[in-house]
Amino acid sequence: MSRVFTCICGQELRAESDEAIFRVAKEHATTKHADKRYSDQDLQTMLRENGYTAGPPADSEAVTLVKRVFREVWEKGD
């Protein structure tokens, strides 16, 4: 599952591990926020406090199908 961090500028950053999201955030900070000069510690703190692990995306058609099947089974009393 992906690690996700939404930057203060609104850009959503995603990567597959803590190490990878740090690299992505550092590159983003260097290119988009060069005037801020964030230290590695600043970035690590922001990621720790505001980053999260994304769950698997939900397929709306699959969710609808599962709900229908469960409803049919429930109504039948099986």
Burial 6-41 (b: 16+ CB within 10 A, else e): eeeeeeebebeeeeebbebbeebbeeeeeeeebeee
- Mean pLDDT computed over 32-43: 96
Cβ-based neighbour number of residue 51 at 10 Å: 18
Q: What is the mean pLDDT of residues 23-51?
A: 96
Asked if 40 and 26 count as a contact pair (C-beta separation under 8 A), the reply is yes
- How crowded is residue 5: how many other Cβ atoms within 10 Å of its Cβ? 22
Average pLDDT over residues 15-28: 97
**Domain segments of the chain: what residues?**
3-76
